[in-house]
Amino acid sequence: MARALTAERLECENATFHGTGGVSACNRDHGFRPAFLDTETGTIYLSCNRSGQPAPFHRLDGLPEELISERDDRGRVIAVRQRVVSGFERDGCFYTREQAACFVVPPTPRQGS
């Protein structure tokens, strides 16, 4: 069964893809922007701050209300619906973290350098 997407899960995903194109810091220069995909509708949502401004990393607070499943006592988003996955948008297409990591392959060190 799929788990709801939470801030903790985003942290785990970042740890899993650390140093690869599966994180914003490593793929930004390739035109990738942190985003979420509603797998039910196919809609891509760019990651945004609460104010609606684009965020440089994955933020749950900027997602539309219909995707939010749980808030804390301060009103902050702590979980979104299970149908939402994190990834990246590039040129209008959604890429999973795995796909972005494969797309952005770090250069291999050259022998003798």
| pLDDT tens per residue, range 28-81 | 999 999 999 999 999 999 999 988 999 999 999 999 999 999 999 999 999 999
- 8 Å CB contact between 27 and 88: yes
* Residue 112 included in any domain: no
* Residue 34 included in any domain: yes
- 8 Å CB contact between 85 and 4: no
Domain span at residue 18? 5-103
* Residue 113 included in any domain: no
- Residue 57, CA distances (Å) to 6, 74, 103, 113 in order: 14, 22, 18, 34
Q: Is the pLDDT assigned to residue 109 strictly greater than 70? A: no
Q: Look at the chain and report how many structural domains it folds into.
A: 1
Q: Is the pLDDT assigned to residue 108 strictly greater than 90? A: no
| Prediction pTM value | 0.89
H-only helix segments in the chain: 7-16, 24-27, 97-103
Tell me what pLDDT residue 28 has.
95
* Residue 108 included in any domain: no
* Residue 111 included in any domain: no
**Closest to 6 measured CA to CA, from 76, 60, 62, 87:** 60
